[in-house]
Amino acid sequence: MQHHPRKRFGQNFLHDPGVIQRILNAFAPMPGQQPLVQHLVEIGPGQGALTAGLLEIAEAVDVIELDRDLIKPLAERFGDPRLRIHQADALTFDLCALLSPSTHRLRLIGNLPYNISTPLLFRFLEQADCIEDLHLMLQKEVVDRIIAAPGSKVYGRLSVMVQTVCSAQRLFLVSAGAFRPAPKVSSAVVRLRPHRPLPYPLVDRPWHARLVAAAFAQRRKTLRNSLAGLVSPEQMIALGIDPAARAETLSIADFATLANASNACID
């Protein structure tokens, strides 16, 4: 039976074989390279556009799909015991629970549902310890925000939160015509690699997340105002950070320093 793509699940299925192959090539270990891990996890397999290629390069693939109606067709299409299908919400799924004694980290791939891409990214960051790398198709604007540097108009909460935990590299752009139905936006594939160890270790990650969110809540505000009640101007000055500056001028290291130095002072 034909599946009608569902907007509420962000269903834009890839159908361009060239684009599918390009993503798989970026994801697969280069020839002659040792595969770091062979435990692959796909977020939102849909009708299996990427899954087919994943099964060619892995011993086992876990896929996490929310739409119940896609589960049976996926199982029937592949009929492969190496494919483990989880009907579940990736926003709450415990990825680390997939690890087995033989695989100490997962490799994640996904053409993500764009309507929930930011919360999904935050969820993956929380689980970065279990993840070797991530190759994700996202809205191009989201990728631009992820990789932005301080001073850029699109540098913000997402840039700081992702770059604190991962290196981020935009691989290539994908036009809307590669999907069915075609989304209204352009897309891009990004590669994220969790840092090990973190270049700027955090004493208290939730506190860092809270500070970053507050700092960017109103971009036009100075740090003195946006962080009022969280970090005093005197503390900022002592750390070499100008309270009259705006959040977009602070580096990843600055945010880590600010969070680490201030968290002990707040109850």
Site residues (vs ligand SAM, CB under 6 A):
9-14, 43-47, 49-50, 64-67, 70, 89-91, 111, 113, 116
Contacts 24+ apart (CB under 8 A), 199-207: 199/252, 199/253, 200/164, 200/252, 200/253, 200/256, 200/257, 201/256, 202/164, 202/256, 202/259, 202/260, 203/259, 203/260, 203/263, 203/264, 204/259, 204/260, 204/263, 207/259, 207/262, 207/263, 207/266
115 is an annotated ligand-binding site residue: no
Cβ proximity to ligand SAM, 123 vs 170, nearer residue: 123
Cβ proximity to ligand SAM, 143 vs 212, nearer residue: 143
12 is an annotated ligand-binding site residue: yes
In DSSP notation, 135-159 reads: EEEEEHHHHHHHHPPTTSTT-SHHH
141 is an annotated ligand-binding site residue: no
Compute the least distance from the CB of residue 112 to ligand SAM, in Å. 6
Cβ proximity to ligand SAM, 43 vs 247, nearer residue: 43
Cβ proximity to ligand SAM, 70 vs 146, nearer residue: 70
Q: How many helices (H) and strands (E) does the chain have?
A: 10, 9
70 is an annotated ligand-binding site residue: no
Compute the least distance from the CB of residue 127 to ligand SAM, in Å. 14
Write out the H or E segment, with its range, that includes residue 257: helix 252-262
Compute the least distance from the CB of residue 140 to ligand SAM, in Å. 14
Question: Which residue has its beta carbon closest to ligand SAM?
Answer: 44
Q: Tell me, what DSSP letter sits at residue 94?
A: -
Compute the least distance from the CB of residue 176 to ligand SAM, in Å. 12
Compute the least distance from the CB of residue 158 to ligand SAM, in Å. 18
- Residues counted in the chain: 267
Q: Which residues are annotated as a binding site?
A: 12, 14, 44, 65, 89, 111
Q: Which residues are annotated as a binding site for S-adenosyl-L-methionine?
A: 12, 14, 44, 65, 89, 111
